[in-house]
Amino acid sequence: MNEKTTKEIAELAKILKESNQIVFFGGAGVSTASGVPDFRSSNGLYSQKLNRNFTPEQAVSHSFFMRYPEEFYAFYKTYLVYPKAQPNDCHKALAQLESMGKLKAIVTQNIDGLHQAAGSKKVYELHGSVHRNYCMKCHAFYDAQYVLDALGIPKCTECGAVVKPDVVLYEEGLDDDTVTGAIRAISQADTLIIGGTSLIVYPAAGLINYFRGKKLVLINKSTTSADHKADLVINEDIAMIMKKAVAQMDKNL
């Protein structure tokens, strides 16, 4: 680890130590170390040319789901659900910060449920979760494994209707209660850490504009549109950075 990164970790640890109302806003880069691909990176899923007559964006749209449910589920189960993924050092560090009483909420664009798996309690999932699936008719609940095990289109055992993932597809709006909670958390934060996101997915990325606190930290491998606003920008692996910063902060408490 070079001297620059060492200094950045020390500065982040100091910010964490001095903050009591931290909110973390995260994207796909938070889960890449867990084996969940970053769809929008240069080698991510959305950059791949699939050997099919539709684009990945079309495949996860509401209209595609309604019109071609079998093709939707073939794509969804292959590319969007990772049942073997485990929380990485970033997820664990954030859960540790929450248990210390420092971190008040996580606002995530991810749908993998890894923050909860790591032990985080207050998580606003802007784009839903693969772990929640509901019958479109009677609203019976089904877990991710039920969907993965289904042949073709998963159907409700109660009424026979199609089961839909509680995931925000293209052409669908974000959940109002989730957005309201996320805005409240961000607006009350004294420190906002933005991690693993390029901040190009709206309306989610626009939520950071509600931050009125003291310290804005950006941790992402590439530059973002909010870098110029940040008090600290770290272009390194977020799992490593968060693990070391929390460990260093914890020692100095």
Determine if the peptide bond prior to 56 is cis (ω within 30°).
no
Half-sphere exposure of 62 (CA within 13 A, CB side): 9
Nearest to 34 by CA among 75, 77, 1, 83: 83
| Segments in 39-188 forming alpha helices (H) | 56-59, 62-67, 69-79, 89-99, 114-118, 144-149, 176-188
127 labelled catalytic: yes
- In the numeric block, the tokens 């990164």 are attached to 5
Q: Are 154 and 163 in contact (CB under 8 A)?
A: yes
> Which residue is catalytic, options 91, 115, 127, 131?
127
Which residues, 6+ apart, have CB-to-CB distance to 45 below 8 Å?
A: 37, 39, 56, 79
| Segments in 122-175 forming alpha helices (H) | 144-149
Q: Give the count of beta carbons closer than 10 Å to the beta carbon of residue 48.
A: 12
Q: How far apart are CA 239 and CA 131, in angstroms?
A: 23
Residues carrying an active site annotation? 127
